[in-house]
Amino acid sequence: MNDRYRLVRPLATGGMAELFLGIAQGAEGFEKPVAIKRMLPHLAKDESLVQMFVSEARLATHLHHQNIATVYDVGTHTAGLFLVMELVNGWDLGVLMRHMARRGLRMPPHLVAFIGAQVLAGLIHAYRRTHQGRPVLTAHRDISPSNILVSREGEVKLTDFGIAKLEGISHGTQPGVFKGKPSYASPETVRGEPATAASDQFSLGLILHELLGGVHPFHDAGDPMGVAVAIATRPPPPLPEAPAPLAEGVMRALSRQPGARFAHPEAMAEALARYLSRAGEPASSNTLAAFIAGLELPPTLLEQDTPSDLQMNATTLGRGLKSPPELSHGFEIHIEEPPAPDVLPVRSLEQVAGAVGATASIPKTQPGLRHLPREALAPEPAPLAPSAAPDAPEVPLELAWGARPTATAEDEGARAPLAAFPEQRAPARRWMGLLGAVALLGPLLVLTVPWLQDLRPHWLSKEQVIAYPSLSIESHPEGARVLVEGVDQGKTPLVMDNTYPPGEVSVQLTLPGYKPWKGTFTGGAPATLDARLQRR
């Protein structure tokens, strides 16, 4: 059966598997480009990791939906276990977000709602699947831009169920283990609590907020550690420029308490559907495809390779092809010259999916595009570097807190500023192609129990709190409603943590029978306000 698949070239390596562009072969010369994910050979001796890899394959047999990237086959070979997956002719959502950010553009709200509804449709299908009367999946646990694929035709597909919380057909989730990307985690999972469908809802809310606002809602927190702290301790900022019904739905999904979010994913999907029905703008795969076409994105993987190229480079699965080196958590990469023709560049999936051609441009007058103010843009993160130690402890790229990448002069001159998204990705290189939104390189690297044990006593335990500056607000008379940046914070007298970003923060006090009082304070610093209200 393994002769049915041929490897064309390696695409990426993660903590558990390596990803290849491949060809599925059939009768009468049938050929189809596919993605082949193969477990790293040196990990095949670890029974728990093998079980995790097999669990993903088992889950895939239960998921068949237009909004979920398809897994076609699973098999074994002398080279190890492998999955054969759908190769989507497009990009992951993170590529689109960075491409728009470089040009100061935002996606129209009705298309943001459409993407959210499509992701929810895939999730709802996964949640509803059962095996022997029990749910197959209770949480995806890694809803993030890199796991949402958007095709040239405007299809939206959810991918990478490799670390999903499974029930009934697998070993499930180890207590106290956080898996996923901290920048798109929910407050409860950051605290080490079990992931649920409500956790996935929060993660999707972060993505929709980022699409509407142009930057991650906690981008001011800096590195992923700071973002995780902010997610667990701060409310997200409002979305004043977004349509009110859509903004309200997104903010509800981002409630810090799971019980305050939508009761179930169907309810959130219905809220998005109601907004779309009243928006007066067509929202479909066709309109999303038209919007994407106007972005002039770089070629997808399938657009880079002709069938003859695939045939010429193909190698039978597991035969004569060495495993590419693993990529760990190093930063900074220096490439003096392009690799020789017979040497294939191997990058992490984050690097490949994030590679965007520097020559791509945007038409000056593109319908449906909204321009961001230039001050909202920040320099792009520098690329990640490969590590040569195959048995080094795997650490999530997002969690290498101490490293501060620097960009080369060549990079600075070749690209426009990019919004500082917490989910860091590598920029394009001269020889780098764009991965056409390949379904699934996972399970992603895992943030394990020692991390939680080391950090929770310092910033997540119930007994201790973060030492933020204090904000004290009083009024005469007392009992005035306090609105900070338009968000209700309670009544005076009020003492709260000043977790707001540096700069001027607006506050308003209202009390029946009195004129509204307006003022400001400096975010991130100790502040005291004493308002004397005047009668109407």
Q: Answer whether residue 77 shows pLDDT above 90.
A: no
Mean pLDDT of 155-168: 71
State the pLDDT at residue 158.
95
Q: Annotate 222-262 with three-state secondary structure.
A: CCHHHHHHHHHHCCCCCCCCCCHHHHHHHHHHCCCCHHHCC
Question: What 3-state class would DSSP assign to 62?
Answer: coil
Question: What 3-state class would DSSP assign to 50?
Answer: helix
CATH number of the domain at 2-88+298-448, out of 1.10.3720.10, 3.40.47.10, 3.30.200.20, 3.30.450.20? 3.30.200.20
Report the Cα 283 to chain-centroid distance in Å: 22
State the pLDDT at residue 152.
96
Q: Give the global pTM.
A: 0.59
Q: Domain coordinates of the chain in residue numbers?
A: 2-88+298-448, 90-293, 470-532
Contact 55, 170 (CB under 8 A): yes
Does the annotation count 160 as an active-site position?
Answer: no
Worst-scoring range by mean pLDDT, 24-28, 333-337, 485-489? 333-337
Catalytic residue among 3, 92, 142, 309: 142
Residue 17, classified by CB atoms within 10 Å of its CB into exposed (0-12), middle (13-18) or buried (19+), is: buried
Report the Cα 403 to chain-centroid distance in Å: 21
Mean pLDDT of 486-495: 84
Take residue 28 and report the two structure tokens written for it.
């009468």
Torsion sign over Cα 169, 171, 174, 178: negative
State the pLDDT at residue 162.
60
For every residue of 498-526, DSSP letters joined together read --SPSEEEEEEEE-TTB--EEEEEEETS-
More confident residue, 527 or 266: 266
Place of tokens 């895992």: 446
Contact 159, 56 (CB under 8 A): no
More confident residue, 243 or 11: 243
Query: pLDDT band at residue 54, thresholds of 50, 70 and 90?
Result: confident
More confident residue, 161 or 287: 287
CATH number of the domain at 90-293, out of 1.10.3720.10, 1.10.510.10, 3.50.30.10, 1.10.1060.10? 1.10.510.10
Average of per-residue pLDDT values in the chain: 71
d(CA 248, CA 240): 10
Q: pLDDT tens across 138-154, in order?
A: 899 899 999 999 999 99
Query: pLDDT band at residue 311, thresholds of 50, 70 and 90?
Result: very low
Mean pLDDT of 149-166: 82
Mean pLDDT of 262-290: 96
d(CA 83, CA 35): 8
CATH code of the domain occupying 470-532: 2.60.40.10
Question: What 3-state class would DSSP assign to 162?
Answer: coil
Q: Annotate 126-171 with three-state secondary structure.
A: HHHCEECCEECEEECCCCCHHHEEEECCCCEEECCCCCCEECCCCC
Q: Answer whether residue 129 shows pLDDT above 60.
A: yes
